[in-house]
């Protein structure tokens, strides 16, 4: 079950929540759900995404099932600190695309009393830890791992298999470029 804030955040200080999984697992949907609940609770919120993520919208954070929430695209993690002044809850989507400075930014916000909700891929298309996510997992108070469904066998999937021939680490795409796979199906393809 996903983590829910059941206490008044203003009296308990800040913390970091990280939502990870493969592509098509519902990470962004969960981020949007948590931020909307904070808004319903009349907490001030700001949502950020990397400026390179323009798949569905230049500005909004949008899930694969087309749920959307207003966000601010930023070029570097450090910019979040400048724009998140006096905010109760900060949301950060596609965290794997940010620089390593995101770890310090999240910790600084949490130390200042802000609830920080981060969503991102925990592994790249090769099945290796991705960007600042491993360190965020280590420092977060709450971690949620969500799973997609393997398109080959129907088991739980947590790998993002790249179907496109590119070897670039960052390749924005959707179902044409990527598919979620379980460990067994991912290893079968990788070992071919």
- Which DSSP category does 129 fall into? B
Q: Which residue has the tokens 């950020």?
A: 48
Two tokens, residue 148: 């997609």
Q: Is 94 a catalytic residue?
A: yes
Give the C-alpha separation, 136 to 18, whole Å.
Answer: 7
Question: Which residues face 129 on adjacent strands?
Answer: 123
> Diameter of the chain by CA atoms?
55
Q: Which residue has the tokens 């949502």?
A: 47
**How many other C-beta atoms lie within 10 A of the C-beta of residue 10?**
11
Give the C-alpha separation, 191 to 146, whole Å.
Answer: 25
**Strand 15-21 to 68-69 pairing:** unpaired
User: Considering only CA atoms, which of 56, 66, 58 is closest in space to residue 26?
Assistant: 66
Radius of gyration, CA atoms only, the chain: 16
Active-site hit among 29, 30, 94, 179: 94
Active-site residue numbers? 94
């Amino acid at each position: 079950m996903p983590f829910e804030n059941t206490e008044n955040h203003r009296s308990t200080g800040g913390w970091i929540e990280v939502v990870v999984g493969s592509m098509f697992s519902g990470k962004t949907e969960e981020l949007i759900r948590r931020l909307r609940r904070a808004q319903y609770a009349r907490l001030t919120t700001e949502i950020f995404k990397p400026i390179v993520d323009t798949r569905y919208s230049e500005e909004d954070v949008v899930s694969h099932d087309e749920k959307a929430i207003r966000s601010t695209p930023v070029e570097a993690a450090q910019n979040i600190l400048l724009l998140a002044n006096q905010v109760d809850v900060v949301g950060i989507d596609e965290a794997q695309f940010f620089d390593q400075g995101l770890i310090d930014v999240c910790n600084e916000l949490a130390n200042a009393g802000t609830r920080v909700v981060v969503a991102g891929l925990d592994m790249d298309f090769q099945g290796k830890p991705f960007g600042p996510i491993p360190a965020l997992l280590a420092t977060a108070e709450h971690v949620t791992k969500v799973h997609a469904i393997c398109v080959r066998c129907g088991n739980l999937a947590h790998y993002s298999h790249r179907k496109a021939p590119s070897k670039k680490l960052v390749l924005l795409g959707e179902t044409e470029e990527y598919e979620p796979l379980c460990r067994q199906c991912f290893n079968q393809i990788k070992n071919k």
